[in-house]
Amino acid sequence: MSAEDEPALWQRDVTGAIDLWIEVGQPDEKILRQACGRSKQVIVYVYGNRSAEAWWANQSSSLNRLKNLAVTLLPMESVRALAGMASLTMQLQWTIQDGHLWIADGIQTLHLELQRLKS
């Protein structure tokens, strides 16, 4: 998805500064510290139920010190359902409201309840 020193997804302002840095998975604390130093806001989406919980248990004390970092857990069963919606010609509609995410592909709608580990 990206180079090691670049996020999975980012948003830059007109000057080229990074407004938003998004990571997916279970990134190393060093990467997140660097991201927080380079960006106004950093969001991490973790998944993998047990492995994500273990990652958060090991990283939370140091990551809680990063003021511009948010961490959200995506339930693994929802990630699997989303993967099942993938197709070459897919068109998805996303609705996000109050920690809930609805993803529709015209045939089915998937509901994900996002769990905030750190806001």
Query: For residue 43, what are its two tokens?
Result: 């969001």
**Quick one: average pLDDT of 70-83?**
91
Domain extents in the chain: 9-118
Q: Are 98 and 112 in contact (CB under 8 A)?
A: no
Third-level CATH fold of 9-118: Restriction endonuclease-like alpha-beta roll fold (3.10.640)
The pLDDT value recorded for residue 53 is: 92
Condensed to tens digits (0 to 9), the pLDDT of residues 97-119 reads 988 899 999 999 999 888 999 99
Angle 33-31-49 from CA coordinates, rounded to 5°: 105
Phi, psi of 78 (to 5 degrees): -70, -35
**Quick one: average pLDDT of 13-26?**
95
Q: Are 21 and 35 in contact (CB under 8 A)?
A: yes
